[in-house]
């Protein structure tokens, strides 16, 4: 079976960025593409820019980086859900809960402190840290560093070039952060070496685009939802016809895509449509959002965005599992830039695997990987003494389950697996994602691009993909990629 692929979130060259993007964030919108087949039978696509000139032999989503704001597998007795939609009691309770018609983090001690990005393109970093901080409130109060995430990630972009959710997820899931603001203050352009993360982010869910019920439930039960909109203003001192300063109300009904990251921290189903002034939506209702322009903007940094806004709630993240930094002793990984693309065989299912070498006597406790869309079923396998990975045939899965939402998940193993020092071990996963044709998340190296691009290191991984779990293809050699699959261990 021919291997097919789909790239997402590929960072474009600096010249194209400057030509097509004008603000802090430009996340996950599809470019217009024309699919075709190459001579080997591998699916490819021609990328057409707005100018209709630049081509690229990949199917891609819009650039992750931007400039600063200037404008039937039968389950067995080993099955565990690991957050499965149907049998997870917590998720079932969330789904059945009757949401209030109005909800405001400020009334519950859950609103994060408002920060100011100044004149740098770091709205994505502020949105990330405020959303993360809100997920820990009110029990824990943190002030995480925006400087560190924007300077110490694995992407080759300056603070004035912006960023997006891809970078947020990659930085946190790689345990590169978060660190405390006091250890790396914002705005000096310098980030100290050797800072350790104060938390380990182990799960990030991606609420479905424009699913306001899912967004509200994420806010109510988990934390602020990092999202984006088209911001017609440049900063807190600017004015725009889409923003009514008297009521802190914003509603954009044009055709521009998102260019600015914010955090949803509440809603009001009866927020009057008249509050939006001349550009008035058809119905009442708005999300309460935190901006990154300091307390001088809006109502002490907060403002209302109409449910009918063109972009609000289209691209979303919520940090649903944030643990202490001693939960595991080590993470084995080769995807420091995270989910940049997808691989598959033109079908809903595929196998993928990574081979790692144990650094010491340890126990394998959990694995982490992405569900690239909703209702992804999975099976996890572990193979010790993996000397010839290309020829390995998998036995019984050690754990199975299903994820209701897209996102990154950590799946604990029912029983830890003992690893000897220097032992080569394989972690493999089978996924079936309804409607998908490229269900496997990968970190992608694009040799043809230059300038602002992910600093992908293909030398640190030994990843494989398979259609049947028997014949394996090495992805670093064949697809210029690393498999997004992490292994978490504890020392003996």
Q: pLDDT tens digit string along 285-309?
A: 999 999 999 999 999 999 999 999 9
Give the closest residue to 166 by CA, choosing from 204, 132, 215: 204
Mean pLDDT of the chain: 84
DSSP conformation class of 347: S
Q: For residue range 459-481, what is the model confidence (pLDDT) as tens digits?
A: 999 999 999 999 999 999 999 99
CA distance 443 to 338: 6
More confident: 66 or 383: 383
**Angle CA 319–322–324, to nearest 5:** 165
pLDDT band at 93 (very low <50, low <70, confident <90, very high): confident
Would you state the pLDDT for residue 47? 24
Give the closest residue to 168 by CA, choosing from 141, 130, 196, 212: 130
Buried b (16+ CB within 10 A) or exposed e, 318-340: bbbbbeeeeebebbbbbbbbbbb
How is the beta sheet containing 4-7 ordered, strand by strand?
A: 4-7, 341-344, 440-444, 481-483
Q: Where are the alpha helices (DSSP H) in 32-114?
A: 89-96
The mean pLDDT of 118-127, rounded to a whole number, is 96
CB 210, CB 194: distance < 8 Å: no
Give the closest residue to 172 by CA, choosing from 210, 143, 145, 212: 145
């Amino acid at each position: 079976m021919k291997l097919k692929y789909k790239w997402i979130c590929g960072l474009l060259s600096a010249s194209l960025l400057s030509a097509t993007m004008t603000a802090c964030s430009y996340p996950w919108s599809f470019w217009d593409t024309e699919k075709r087949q190459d001579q080997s039978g591998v699916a490819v696509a021609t990328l057409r820019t707005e100018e209709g000139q630049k081509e690229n032999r990949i199917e891609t989503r819009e650039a992750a980086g931007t400039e600063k704001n200037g404008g039937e597998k039968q389950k067995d007795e080993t099955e565990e859900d690991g957050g499965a939609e149907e049998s997870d009691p917590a998720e079932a309770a969330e789904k059945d809960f009757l949401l209030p018609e109005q909800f405001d983090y400020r009334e519950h001690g859950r609103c994060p402190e408002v920060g100011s990005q100044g004149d740098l393109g770091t709205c994505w970093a502020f949105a990330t840290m405020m959303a993360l901080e809100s997920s820990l409130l009110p029990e824990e109060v943190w002030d995480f560093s925006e400087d560190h995430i924007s300077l110490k990630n694995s992407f080759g972009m300056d603070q004035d070039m912006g960023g997006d959710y891809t970078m947020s997820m990659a930085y946190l899931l790689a345990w590169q952060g978060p660190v405390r603001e006091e250890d790396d203050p914002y705005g000096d352009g310098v980030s100290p070496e050797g800072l350790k993360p104060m938390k380990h982010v182990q799960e990030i869910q991606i609420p479905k685009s424009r699913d306001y019920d899912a967004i509200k439930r994420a806010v109510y039960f988990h934390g602020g939802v990092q999202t984006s909109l088209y911001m017609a203003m440049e900063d807190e001192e600017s004015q725009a016809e889409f923003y009514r300063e008297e009521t802190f109300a914003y509603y954009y009904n044009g055709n521009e895509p998102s260019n600015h990251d914010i955090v949803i921290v509440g809603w009001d189903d009866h927020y009057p449509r008249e509050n939006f002034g001349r550009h008035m939506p058809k119905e009442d209702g708005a999300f309460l959002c935190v901006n990154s322009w300091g307390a001088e903007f809006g109502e002490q940094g907060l403002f209302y965005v109409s449910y009918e806004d063109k972009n609000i709630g289209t691209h979303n993240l919520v940090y649903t599992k944030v643990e202490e930094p001693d939960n595991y002793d080590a993470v084995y990984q080769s995807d420091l830039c995270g989910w940049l693309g997808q691989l598959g065989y033109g079908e809903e299912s595929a196998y993928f695997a990574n081979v790692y070498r144990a650094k010491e006597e340890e126990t394998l406790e959990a694995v982490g990987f992405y569900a690239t869309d909703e209702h992804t079923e999975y099976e996890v396998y572990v193979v010790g003494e993996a000397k010839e990975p290309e020829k390995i045939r998998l036995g019984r899965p050690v754990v199975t389950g299903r994820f209701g939402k897209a996102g990154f998940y950590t799946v604990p193993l029912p029983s830890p697996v003992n690893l000897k020092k220097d032992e080569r071990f394989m972690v493999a996963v089978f996924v079936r994602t309804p409607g998908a044709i490229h269900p496997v998340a990968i970190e992608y190296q694009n040799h043809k691009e230059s300038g602002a691009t992910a600093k992908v290191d293909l030398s640190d991984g030994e990843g494989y993909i398979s259609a049947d779990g028997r014949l394996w293809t090495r992805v670093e050699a064949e697809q210029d990629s690393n498999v997004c699959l992490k292994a978490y261990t504890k020392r003996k």
